[in-house]
Amino acid sequence: FKIYLPRVDEAIESLKPGATRAEPTQGLETILLVEDEDVLRALICKILEMHGYTVLEARNGGESLLICEQHKGPIHLMVTDVVMPKMNGPSLAERLAQLRPDMKVIYMSGYTDNIIIHRGVQDLSTAFLQKPFTPDALARKVREVLDQRLS
Angle at 150 between CA 147 and CA 151, to 5 degrees: 135
Which distant-in-sequence residues (6+ apart) come within 8 Å of 111 by Cβ?
82, 83, 119
- How many domains does one find in the chain? 1
**Which domain range does residue 42 map to?**
30-147
Mind listing the pLDDT tens digit for each residue in 43-99?
Answer: 999 999 999 999 999 999 999 999 999 999 999 999 999 888 889 888 899 999 999
pTM as predicted: 0.78
Tell me if 79 is assigned to some domain.
Answer: yes
Tell me if 69 is assigned to some domain.
Answer: yes
Tell me if 143 is assigned to some domain.
Answer: yes
Tell me if 136 is assigned to some domain.
Answer: yes
| Buried/exposed 69-108: b ≥16 CB within 10 Å, e otherwise | eeeeeebbbbbbbbbbeebbbbebbeebeeebeebbbbbb
CATH code where residue 41 lies: 3.40.50.2300
